[in-house]
Amino acid sequence: MHMLKIKDKEFTLYLSQKELERKVKELGEQISKDYQGKSPIVLGVLNGAFMFLSDLMKEVEVPLELSFIKIASYSGTNSTGKVKEVIGLSEDVKGRHVLIVEDIVDTGLSMTHLKEMVEAQKPASIAIASLLVKPEALKEPIDIDYVGFDIPTKFVVGYGLDYDGFGRNLKEIYQLK
């Protein structure tokens, strides 16, 4: 399927299941290497990262704890620029190696905010994994330790990412036409 319509919008295939699988495996191997001898706590950012997180975690071969958090800053296809609170972040991250897993970094505002909130809990280290990054949309520089794909500033859906609630279940990633 190379074309897709969700509600009023048309999308075209951008990243195939194969490409995603290959990249996720690669990231998993890198993370396993980097965290050898450590037992990190992984913070998966809901909702968008659920599919990436699930596939990525199966490729990571160090003992880890998995926790879910939630932030929201988007409605429809335009960033509202507003960052809401972080739900589900506990003090358990104190002194731990924290790995944040996100679906996409766009302006970077959500991630910057989240990183600050985690830093305030005094973890031993923080690293960020994001399947997708839109480098041209970044409002402030932010270090993403594990990047799946750098993509253009265009709206994408699938593999966890939604358009108005739909498309999260797609096994590929589609780009707005």
Catalytic residues: 106
Closest approach, Cβ 33 to ligand 5GP, in A, equals 26
Closest approach, Cβ 69 to ligand 5GP, in A, equals 12
Which region among 1-9, 56-64, 102-110, 116-124 touches ligand 5GP (by CB under 6 A)? 102-110
The site string for ligand 5GP over 16-55 (x = CB under 6 A, - otherwise) reads --------------------------------x-------
* Cα–Cα distance, 78 to 99 (Å, whole number): 27
Q: Is 149 in the site for ligand 5GP (CB under 6 A)?
A: no
Place of tokens 């409605």: 75
Number of C-beta neighbours around residue 172 at 10 A = 19
Contact of 138 with 156, CB cutoff 8 Å: no
Which region among 18-26, 58-66, 91-99, 105-113 touches ligand 5GP (by CB under 6 A)? 105-113
Number of C-beta neighbours around residue 129 at 10 A = 24
Helix (H) or strand (E) holding 117: helix 109-119
Contact of 42 with 65, CB cutoff 8 Å: yes
Q: Is 148 in the site for ligand 5GP (CB under 6 A)?
A: no
* Cα–Cα distance, 141 to 139 (Å, whole number): 7
Q: Which residue lies nearer to ligand 5GP by CB, 27 or 132?
A: 132
Q: Which residues bind ligand 5GP (CB under 6 A)?
A: 48, 73-74, 79, 102-111, 155-157, 161-163
